[in-house]
Amino acid sequence: MEVAAQVSLYPLRQPRLSSVIEAALAVFREHQLQVTPGSMSTIVSGDYDRMFDAFKQAFRETAEQGEIVMVVTVSNACPIGGD
């Protein structure tokens, strides 16, 4: 099943925000998901299993760098890849 998600990652009390966010984006790409970064959130689309595996890994890896909040909205009804 193909799904799309809007992901927002908020590193808390960390000196460098961008490195934490870039780490999460790298995980999404590593899982062969389509990634469209925005200024406040990122749209991620692709296979259901890959996506949820990527969320788990991204949360784990970024949380190891410090406190974070990750907000994810997932849909199977949104257009995938600009369809």
15 within domain boundaries: yes
39 within domain boundaries: yes
Question: Containing domain of residue 69, as a range?
Answer: 2-75
**CATH classification at residue 23:** 3.30.70.930
Domain count, the chain: 1
82 within domain boundaries: no
25 within domain boundaries: yes
User: What is the rounded CA–CA span in Å between residue 79 and residue 4?
Assistant: 8
Helical pair 17-30 and 48-63, crossing angle rounded to 10 deg: 150
User: What is the rounded CA–CA span in Å between residue 24 and residue 6?
Assistant: 13
Per-residue pLDDT of the chain (83 residues; tens, 9 = 90+): 999 999 999 999 988 889 999 999 999 999 999 999 999 999 999 999 999 999 999 999 999 999 999 999 999 998 775 54
Tens of pLDDT, residue by residue over 40-57, are 999 999 999 999 999 999
